[in-house]
Amino acid sequence: MFAKILIANRGEIACRVIRTARKLGVHTVAVYSDADAKSLHVEMADEAVHIGSSPVGESYLRGDRIVAAALATGAQAIHPGYGFLSENPDFVDQVVAAGLIFIGPSAASIRAMGLKDAAKRLMEKAGVPVVPGYHGEAQEIVLLASKAREIGYPVLIKARAGGGGKGMRRVEHPDDFSEALSSARREAKAAFGDDRVLVEKYVDKPRHIEVQVFGDNFGNAVHLYERDCSAQRRHQKVIEEAPAPGMTPALRKAMTDAAVKAAKAISYSGAGTIEFIVDASQGLQADRFWFMEMNTRLQVEHPVTEMVTGTDLVEWQLRVASGEKLPKTQSEIALAGHAFEARIYAEDAAKGFLPATGTLHHLKFPEAAAQGATMRIETGVRAGDAISPYYDPMIAKLVVGAKDRQAALEALRTALSQTEIAGSTVNTAFLAALAADPDFCAGDVDTGLIGRHQVVLTEVAPPSGEIISAAALAASGAEASPRSDDPWSSLAGYAHFHGVARRTRLKFGEDDIVAKVSVRPDGRFQVALDAPYDGTNVHDFRAVPRLARWPGHVTVFEGAVGYTFAVPDPLARSDDAAAASGSLRAPMPGLVKLVRVAKGDAVIKGQPLLILEAMKMEHTIAAPHDGLIAEIATEGSQVTDGTVLVRFVEDGRG
């Protein structure tokens, strides 16, 4: 076993690797950028080395600096985590050339599976079924459009390098092919440095089912059963589970046999995942699955496999890379129970899952799993940490396991309802809604489920009078009394014969709320709300709802929903310029990738004005109304959240 390893990653996966290394007595070296100088993974590691500024191109993608850090600290091996350089064969070559060990597959294996088109040709030769489509080298638009017509619409354009839904577009009609291809190429180039694509038949009711495989350097390869990752938004996974619901013995055998065959075809060593697309339109059948791609690394969702197989896949990685054989044979790997993983992101589900930033002023996870269940919280952040625009906005992975799917699903819903996050917009309410969706609960899930139900899943009921009153109570400072048996002391000016009310202002979205908080003779608080929330609510000090107060705000939690109210500073002057109409502001920090109109142009409502790239994804900014362009951001400019992107001529609006 290694004495010391360097982890070429950040966030929750770096923390995850550190925990297993510590269990095995292996010392760890963390690397960090400027933005991560005070991060959790830096604090947890035995040593830490600064490798550059915040952008990934100047830090976590600098293989030369990472190798130099490993050599300088005496590390024997490098664990890549996932993302960044984990599937970069040139980085593997760098590591090996420096006399270090790469904790993962060989560069040859990564190259064999790194490009989707070449990988599919290889799998066809190995006898593994692949999705019908064009996987060739030629990239002329006329040829690709012709192949799309031959395949038959709808088709899927996919970047041949990388994954995570980047560079992927579904095309319903030939007239839309050219625009979709251009957009997919731009996004693929930005994310992977390679704008080449392949074109495949779009499966009408696709299930995304993947098989965890593991190989060693002695020619052994096994599978650890399957995971279902069909619950996706924008081609990115949201909730994963193991095993796949509705899986039949015949399909499981066919898929796992094909997965092991794929791994052996490239002499694979380490953790890997073979991803299949399954046509579920007529139920799960053994002849209706096809190879999509192989991820030559540890997957984000690996904890669900660990829960149902009783393994530590990171430990297996370290043991295999250090020269040991696989810890178990195929016959020794058993499947038991059911597990779910929910990815908690800083994102606005109601606004098309736009990534969000902010400081995690309040962060509280469940203290224990539901009865009869197990739970893991995989995170790389703490309360007070910031979600920056430089990296993936994942906050945590909430992982639960139980004896069967129903029990595990109930444990997941309970855990989500007990999670409290304030300071950034998060997706916990959406995850809870998905976990309660009738089709999802029945196991009738495919990759289009979230899209079909998106309006319902992202809809949050407005705050009730009780919620608003609780926020007003918190904003007034009344519930912050240090003595729970003396609520009077928290309201200055209390009079015995006539209660003195404290006037409190709140803002929820665009709504201004005025409340009057006073103490009743019986020791409870009374909150009276002005229009449009007319009503009076009485609160017992000893039964204050779950809430968090943070600078200028109060968040009240009801189940998995966090209602955030702004608490205006009465001394602050309004910014008339910021409140002016006729402008469009950036919904998140990003790069103005493409500008489609110019100053003086007349535009109509819904017309695309520019494309904003954030977190390696493209977001189209469209006109909210008819009008004339007075100003527009410069192509290639970097903008922050709230930056004015477009100004309209006021009298030019329709």
Catalytic residue numbers?
297
Amino acid at 345: Y
The DSSP string of 465-529 is HHHHHHHHHHHHTGGG-S-TT-GGGGSTT--SSSPPPEEEEEEETTEEEEEEEEE-TTS-EEEEE
C-alpha distance from residue 250 to each of 230, 328, 413 (Å): 20, 24, 31
Closest CA to 243 of 331, 330, 308: 308
Burial (CB count <10 Å: 0-12, 13-18, 19+), residue 249? exposed
Can you say whether the dihedral through the CA atoms of 422, 424, 428, 430 is positive or negative? positive
Report the distance separating Cα 234 and Cα 277, nearest Å. 16
Nearest 5 degrees, angle CA 386-CA 59-CA 22? 75
- Neighbouring CB atoms inside 10 A of 312's CB total 17
- Neighbouring CB atoms inside 10 A of 495's CB total 8
Closest CA to 512 of 587, 575, 565: 565
Nearest 5 degrees, angle CA 126-CA 128-CA 129? 140
Secondary structure of residue 388 in the 3-state scheme? coil
List of residues 6+ apart from 192 with CB closer than 8 A: 159, 161, 162, 166, 167
List of residues 6+ apart from 128 with CB closer than 8 A: 258, 261, 262, 265, 291
Closest CA to 83 of 18, 6, 14: 14
- Neighbouring CB atoms inside 10 A of 522's CB total 9
Question: How many Cα neighbours within 13 Å face the side chain of 499?
Answer: 19
Q: Using omega within 30 degrees of 0 as the cis cutoff, is the peptide bond preceding 532 cis?
A: yes
